Amino acid sequence: MRKLAAGNWKMNGTEADLGEIDALLAAHPTPRCEMLICPPATLVARMAGRAAQGLMVGGQDCHPKTSGAHTGDVSAAMLADAGASHVILGHSERRADHGETDSLVRLKAEAAWGAGLVAIVCVGETEAQRDAGQTLDVIGAQLAGSVPDAATAANTVIAYEPVWAIGTGRTPTTAEIAEVHAFLRARLAERFSDAQGFRLLYGGSVKPSNAAEIFAVPNVDGALVGGASLKAADFGGIVEALSAA
């Protein structure tokens, strides 16, 4: 199981920003971990066209249907056709801004597999839910509802992103991260024979300065990185920390 450093550019990036990909590949041509960048849909094909062997490209969402009258949506097959190998699903911003439910995320994961994509399924609690002591209940429900029974270590990655830590500069303690990742591993083991092979990513204000500490936590197999993935130097620092973990 190779560890995975995944970058989520969110709604950022134009053609001019693809120079960061060139710089990333120049600095890390053969990383010891896998590198993945998920840019806006407008850049997937262009990024895939200039990505070298050391970098994979993914989408940030897909529609559960393969085609049809769904204005503004992108199917998994379209992402694959553009050169994507992965797709992020159920990110907290999609759940909050677009009302995505666990059942919808499950359908999207199945659509991703149908197109040959690896699904990165996101789970995570809000600050209010953590303060109320509901973290594991919330994450357990999201995991059960969002991950289909046909999931395998080869077609699915799980990303834990505490909603209150995304883009805020706040980071859970290593003990808090360890608790959730151990819980995720145990829940996966209840359902899947290859549970130990599933990669569990941590996401939420990951940056070069805290990456090594986070990657030392048991059951953390990489990161889903937001803002720090936009600059080659920042993301490269995280790649270096993961490679050394």
Q: What is the secondary structure of 124-187 as a DSSP string? A: ---HHHHHTT-HHHHHHHHHHHHS-TT--TTTEEEEE--GGGTTTS----HHHHHHHHHHHHHH
Q: Collapsing DSSP states into helix, strand and coil, what is residue 202?
A: strand
- Catalytic: which of 93, 100, 125, 161? 161
Active-site residue flag, 91? yes
CA distance 141 to 102: 8
150 token code pair: 């046909």
| Cβ atoms within 10 Å, residue 231 | 15
Asked if residues 230 and 12 have their Cβ atoms less than 8 Å apart, the reply is: yes
Active site residue 161: yes
Do the strands 86-89 and 56-59 form a parallel or antiparallel pair, or are they unpaired?
parallel
Question: With contact defined as beta carbons under 8 Å apart, do 147 and 104 qualify?
Answer: no
| Annotated active-site residue in 63, 86, 91, 181 | 91
Nearest to 90 by CA among 74, 106, 78: 106
Catalytically active residues are 91, 161
